[in-house]
Amino acid sequence: MTARESTSTVARPLRMEVSGLQSLVAALWTAGYRVLGPTVGEGAIVYGEVRTIADLPAGYTDEQDAGHYRLRQRDDGALFGYNVGPHSLKRFLLPPRERLFTTIRTGKQLAVEPEPVPTEKLAFLGAKACELAALLTQDRVFSSDQHPDVQYLARRRGMFLVGVSCTKAGGSCFCTSMGTGPKVESGADLALTEVVTASEHYFLVEIKTAAGADLASQLPLRPATIDEQRQAELRIADAATQMGRHLSTVGLKELLARSTDSPHWDEVASRCLSCANCTLACPTCFCNTVEDVTDLAGDHSERWRRWDSCFHDDFSYLHGGSVRASVKSRYRQWLTHKLSTWIDQFGTSGCVGCGRCITFCPVGIDLTAECAALQARTT
Amino acid sequence: MSAIHPPFVADAGSALVPLPYRVQRFVCDTDDTFTLTLAPQSGGEALPFAPGQFNMLYAFPSGDVPISVSGPAARREVLIHTIRAVGPVTRALAQLRRGDTVLVRGPFGKPWPVAQAEGHDVVLIAGGIGLAPLRPVLYHILAKRKRFGRLCLLYGARTPGDVLYRRELEKWRGRLDVQVEVTVDRGDSDWHGEVGVVTQLLERAQLDPARTVAMVCGPEVMMHFSRLALTKRGVPESQIFVSMERNMKCGVGSCGHCQLGPFFICKDGPVFDYPRIAPVFSTKEL
Amino acid sequence: MNPPVHTLSPQLLSLQFFAGFGPAELQILARHSRQVSWPADVEVIREGQVATEFFLILDGRVRVETHLPGRGEVTLQTLLRGDVLGWSWLTANASFSFSARTLQPTNALVFEGTALLRECEQHPRLGYLLMRRFALVMSDRLRHTRLQLLDLYSPPRSSGPFQALKKR
């Protein structure tokens, strides 16, 4: 696969009309994929089924800032003119709730029936660069050599990814700080850049994998001109200058590792509600727990895995009490894990700079500002 | 360009799905601690483990808890676990009877450095239920006694009634090739053994500190003071090993619960050499 | 009664207790000490008795105990080779707070505390070193007592009422 990929990297970008995008969606359904992409719902842009391009959020954008998210109209009919919504790909690979196995009791015997391995093939249209980076980050958690997560990897293997580079940045965005965007460089089968001008609306298409090349061969594409490529690059470059947030990552891992006793944690804790919104919205937060559900007869029990959060007070429960009893210790755990110990564990930062934790924090706690405050205290 | 899909092993069994085991034997050790001997329901050998590893034991339908294996690794047909009944799941496990079924996932975690300890004096320092995860080490060393130097077990319990494996302790104490010292925090009129904390016993352990490997298991405070006493005695920090404990749900490093600083206790531990865990050891609320 | 130990053997000097003392101080210590041998189950000191001596255990085992109505003799701590028994002599005219009894045949050095206190007045360096030594003994004892107080192996506090396992 690597060899074929490397040849595709030198392939010239292609131009696809909006009608070509419709062909792409149709081709994915025909190939047996359930196509998910951005749709307007729940007052936000969320992942939903995309049967035709009419399902896409044409002319919508999002306005984001600390503790602030609003849908707004654009005046140009762009289909991907937003940044990220409250959903991420996480919910499709690690569902908020999923059954792991069922136990049936017959007399003194117990029979365990593992949940069947998922076979549904999912295609994602419109995954942004930070979203794709988050996916690769989560992959490392669930694909350990010794104990790979069968359910996660089965879903992951079947995925087809159509990435879309951002041509605008939001108020909570800082992907440039994390080196994850705004351009979709890798992690997708096809990478699109949407170009809307006064007279034209088209996509620049880059083929990133063999599977992407296969699909592209079914689409009405033509080589992009130098000008068309430049139009796309200009827009991505523009987005890179619009980042609403910035995070200085130089020495941040080490700073957090030695800031265990910083008085700043008390300060954050005075604002933090420990509500867990940040961890639920975060596309890389993977913490989960299990619960066992039994029927009334007590002969049938199901084990469910569901999302959990290090902000919950029973998360660290041990021998009659929580190790992290204070909100301060939980916020410290979350931030330090995300930006410091994650690197020890998985070789990358746990943060992709999508800004969801900032936007969806009910009191507007801003990870970049908290880091800046910790950095300021030590300089 | 990197592959976008992680490697996938089609036939890998899920570490999250347990196997049924039958309770072969139930022994009450103390008022609140008991030992289960488990054999695979399907027959055949039990999951092989190394001393210090743990299994997730699932009491139907309550849920599961991490419990270290306390039996000999050489006995391949059974898994032996010593459990203290302190919460809903461990109390449900305490209700099991011979012939009942329990679900087992594992074994998980990094074991005690038994191979590394060969050629060294070995001191095992146990506090309370912490004796259970160390017992497989003792079995291992006693079975391969010539490969090791002096062997010393120092064990601290709450009261005489809380002393685990009493008969075995007496048997080991009768041997000439192992020093067994037991102390309790509170004595009673029938107790003629030591009263005091386990670190005091270290002062009379017959060891060559520089070539001693120490394995310590018990509450964190007890391990902390044991480490201080070992250092005072001259045992190099790199030869001190501790077994850590945190909330665990998955056992494979993907639920996030057992994190302690950069470590997942379930897969990076539970056994750590002291220098590795030192930066986060005894850090409040970490 | 055994005569005073006029010189301390190298074997005795290897005990941690004597670390830090110079030849002059060791000579004074030797002059006010003698070796004793107790059989098992001998009350070595008694609670309430005026404390004029202290002991350094050389071998055997001694338990520090007190009597509680209804509970009998309760062992607070056992002392072994190298351990010091008794520090009430430090405060003149004090009495022992607890009793001590041998658990097995035991050898010890007995020091005449009252006489040593007088020597300390004449030899401030001896006084200083002896007080430092006892500060260590006491801080060790206090640390161990605090650890015992922590009751580290007790059942978790919020585990609720627990019904002891029935022997079966």
Task: Say if the Cβ atoms of C147 and B222 lie within 8 Å.
Answer: yes
DSSP-assigned letter for residue C109: E
Domain assignment present for B100: yes
Domain assignment present for B202: yes
Domain assignment present for C163: no
Task: Say if the Cβ atoms of B195 and C153 lie within 8 Å.
Answer: no
Q: Tell me, what CATH number does C118's domain have?
A: 2.60.120.10
Interface-testing mutation among A314, A317, A319, with chain C (most C C-beta atoms within 10 A): A319
Domain assignment present for C153: no
Chain B residue numbers with beta carbons less than 8 Å from the beta carbon of A308 are: 249, 255-257
- Shortest distance between the Cα of C95 and any Cα of chain B, in A, equals 23
- Tell me the per-residue pLDDT of A308-347, one tens digit each, with 9 for 90 and over: 999 999 999 998 789 999 999 999 999 999 999 999 999 9
- Tell me the per-residue pLDDT of C150-166, one tens digit each, with 9 for 90 and over: 999 998 764 444 444 54
Domain assignment present for B116: no
Residues facing B38 on adjacent strands: B23, B79
Least reliable range by pLDDT among A28-37, B14-23, C9-18: C9-18
Please say whether the beta carbons of B32 and C165 come within 8 A.
yes
DSSP-assigned letter for residue B147: G
Domain assignment present for C121: yes
- Pairing relation of β-strands B194-195 and B101-108? unpaired
C124 upstream amide cis, omega within 30 of 0: no
**ipTM, 2 decimals?**
0.92
Q: Tell me, what CATH number does B57's domain have?
A: 2.40.30.10
Short-list B16, B12, B86, CA closest to A292: B16
Helix (H) or strand (E) holding C63: strand C53-68
Chain B residue numbers with beta carbons less than 8 Å from the beta carbon of A305 are: 16
Domain that holds residue B191: 121-243
Chain B stretch 236-275, residues whose beta carbon is closer than 8 A to a beta carbon of chain C: none
If asked whether residues B137 and B222 sit together in one domain, one would say yes
Domain assignment present for B264: no
If asked whether residues B38 and B143 sit together in one domain, one would say no
Percentage of chain B modeled with pLDDT above 90: 85
Q: How many CB pairs under 8 A join B and C?
A: 92
Interface-testing mutation among B200, B221, B228, with chain C (most C C-beta atoms within 10 A): B200
Residue B9 confidence (pLDDT) above 90: no
Domain assignment present for C162: no
If asked whether residues B100 and B126 sit together in one domain, one would say no
What's the farthest any 2 CA atoms get from each other in chain C?
Answer: 68
Task: Say if the Cβ atoms of C81 and B185 lie within 8 Å.
Answer: no
Chain B stretch 238-267, residues whose beta carbon is closer than 8 A to a beta carbon of chain A: 245-247, 249-257, 259, 261-262, 264, 267
**Domain count of chain C?**
1
Domain assignment present for B133: yes
Domain assignment present for C50: yes
If asked whether residues B101 and B198 sit together in one domain, one would say no
CA A373 from centre of chain: 26
Task: Say if the Cβ atoms of C148 and B196 lie within 8 Å.
Answer: yes
Short-list B116, B135, B148, B123, CA closest to B206: B123
Short-list A237, A311, A232, CA closest to A268: A311
Domain assignment present for B265: no
**At a CB cut-off of 8 Å and minimum separation 6, what does C29 contact?**
C8, C18, C21, C111, C116, C126
Q: What is the pLDDT of residue A4?
A: 40
pTM over 0.80: yes
Which stretches of chain B are DSSP H helices? 88-94, 131-143, 166-173, 198-202, 220-233, 265-268, 274-277
Domain limits, chain A: 2-241, 252-378
- Tell me the per-residue pLDDT of A144-153, one tens digit each, with 9 for 90 and over: 888 999 999 9
- Shortest distance between the Cα of C134 and any Cα of chain A, in A, equals 36
* Cα-based torsion angle of the residue sequence B176, B181, B182, B183 in order, rounded to the nearest 10 degrees: 160
Task: Say if the Cβ atoms of B6 and A139 lie within 8 Å.
Answer: yes
Residue A89 confidence (pLDDT) above 70: yes
Please say whether the beta carbons of B26 and B79 come within 8 A.
no
Q: Confidence class of residue B4 from pLDDT cuts 50, 70 and 90?
A: low
- Shortest distance between the Cα of B46 and any Cα of chain C, in A, equals 26
Q: What is the pLDDT of residue B151?
A: 97
Q: Whole-angstrom Cα distance, residue C15 to residue C2?
A: 21
Chain A residue numbers with beta carbons less than 8 Å from the beta carbon of B19 are: 112
If asked whether residues B77 and B173 sit together in one domain, one would say no
Chain C residue numbers with beta carbons less than 8 Å from the beta carbon of B94 are: 165
Q: Whole-angstrom Cα distance, residue B213 to residue B209?
A: 8
B14 Cβ under 8 Å from any chain A Cβ: yes
Q: Whole-angstrom Cα distance, residue B29 to residue B157?
A: 13
Burial of A23 (0-12, 13-18, 19+ CB in 10 A): middle
Residues written for chain C: 168
If asked whether residues B100 and B167 sit together in one domain, one would say no
Burial of A97 (0-12, 13-18, 19+ CB in 10 A): exposed
Q: Tell me, what CATH number does B183's domain have?
A: 3.40.50.80
Domain that holds residue C70: 10-144
CA B224 from centre of chain: 17
Residues facing B125 on adjacent strands: B154, B216
If asked whether residues B90 and B129 sit together in one domain, one would say no
**Domain count of chain B?**
2
